[in-house]
Copies of this chain bind each other. A is one copy, B any other.
């Protein structure tokens, strides 16, 4: 263990392979319009391997004027555990295109999105919740960055989920529906969207607008909410997500109410615990992996000149009917 062993640069590789650094760059980037004989390519690649060289991102993006890092902003409390699968797929698809994904927790007291974006010099910012116009403008300018907000994607999507929840309940004959809001204010934007979907569906069915109540991860509080809904003649409630739904189920048990007889409950997100709930929870699932893949495609497309495409990706929310409804 001697000195910190200076990181190797393209020059080191060039020297080791007895070529110029330009040639190394050509090989590494498969620069079009350059003819490199197999033998040279091999030598360069071998030197790269030997030195465990990997180009410094900062130098690359500075020189090339574009970077291959994609920044994903996710709401600071996860929308649900399912988000992991989404990110994973998104990252994998991006990696296929040579892009690197890093994520940032939005809303938290840390750095603001544009700062993070500038710091990592991201070329694209993707977000799961709508980015406000101000931020979007800043990002767009401040980064020569293409903002690929899911305003286009997830936004109507969230609403769609609410719609599906309500439709399911209405199809089952319910005429007065409740809505269980999440506890955390930072989830509000998403919650509002989902709620709007429920309201839409109610309006379409010509029934009363949903009766929204706040929730808490507290059995007593949820028991009270359940009784309140009963008093208001609500027969079914859409929960913001599965966690809220499960905690509502707990409240009902405390209040000696049973699902779906006294109150039918639908969750959203299909978390693993939903199937072991008592009763097993009906919920809305969607193909997050497919969504990750199509978001990645959209990013790649927007990078290669095409405007960010607007067509909704394969987000296919669907009802999973279990015993709680």
Q: What's the number of copies of this chain in the assembled complex?
A: 2
A95, B119: Cα distance in complex, Å: 12
B-chain residues with CB within 8 Å of residue A213 when the two chains form the complex: none
Is A142 part of the binding interface, using a Cβ–Cβ cutoff of 8 Å?
Answer: yes
B-chain residues with CB within 8 Å of residue A62 when the two chains form the complex: 56, 58-59, 62
Within 8 A of B (CB), among A176-231: 217-219, 222
Within 8 A of B (CB), among A279-302: 280
Chain B's nearest CB lies how many Å from the CB of A5?
5
A119, B253: Cα distance in complex, Å: 52
B-chain residues with CB within 8 Å of residue A251 when the two chains form the complex: 276
Query: Contacts A58-B57, A61-B58, A251-B276 hold; do A4 and B144 have CB atoms under 8 A apart?
Result: yes
In the complex, the answer to whether A144 meets B6 with C-beta atoms within 8 Å is yes
Is A71 part of the binding interface, using a Cβ–Cβ cutoff of 8 Å?
Answer: yes
B-chain residues with CB within 8 Å of residue A243 when the two chains form the complex: 272-273
In the complex, the answer to whether B120 meets A69 with C-beta atoms within 8 Å is yes
In the complex, the answer to whether B67 meets A92 with C-beta atoms within 8 Å is no
B-chain residues with CB within 8 Å of residue A272 when the two chains form the complex: 217, 243, 247
In the complex, the answer to whether A109 meets B138 with C-beta atoms within 8 Å is no
Query: Contacts A217-B272, A273-B247, A276-B250 hold; do A67 and B78 have CB atoms under 8 A apart?
Result: no
In the complex, the answer to whether B103 meets A105 with C-beta atoms within 8 Å is yes
Query: Contacts A88-B76, A94-B110 hold; do A120 and B144 have CB atoms under 8 A apart?
Result: no
Chain B's nearest CB lies how many Å from the CB of A102?
4
Query: Contacts A57-B58, A105-B87 hold; do A7 and B69 have CB atoms under 8 A apart?
Result: no
A278, B280: Cα distance in complex, Å: 14
Within 8 A of B (CB), among A255-276: 272-273, 275-276
B-chain residues with CB within 8 Å of residue A114 when the two chains form the complex: 54
A240, B222: Cα distance in complex, Å: 27
In the complex, the answer to whether A253 meets B273 with C-beta atoms within 8 Å is no
A277, B272: Cα distance in complex, Å: 15
Is A77 part of the binding interface, using a Cβ–Cβ cutoff of 8 Å?
Answer: yes
Within 8 A of B (CB), among A75-111: 76-78, 81, 84, 87-88, 91-92, 94-95, 100-105, 108-111
B-chain residues with CB within 8 Å of residue A219 when the two chains form the complex: 275-276, 280
Q: List 13 A-B contacts (CB under 8 A).
A: A58-B59, A58-B121, A67-B119, A71-B102, A91-B108, A92-B109, A94-B110, A102-B102, A102-B120, A217-B276, A218-B275, A219-B280, A273-B273
Pairs of residues from A and B, 5 with the lowest C-beta to C-beta distance, nearest first: A91-B110, A58-B58, A250-B276, A102-B102, A217-B272
Q: Which residues of A contact B (CB under 8 A)?
A: 4-7, 52, 54-62, 67-69, 71, 76-78, 81, 84, 87-88, 91-92, 94-95, 100-105, 108-111, 114-116, 118-121, 138, 141-144, 217-219, 222, 243, 246-247, 250-251, 253, 272-273, 275-278, 280
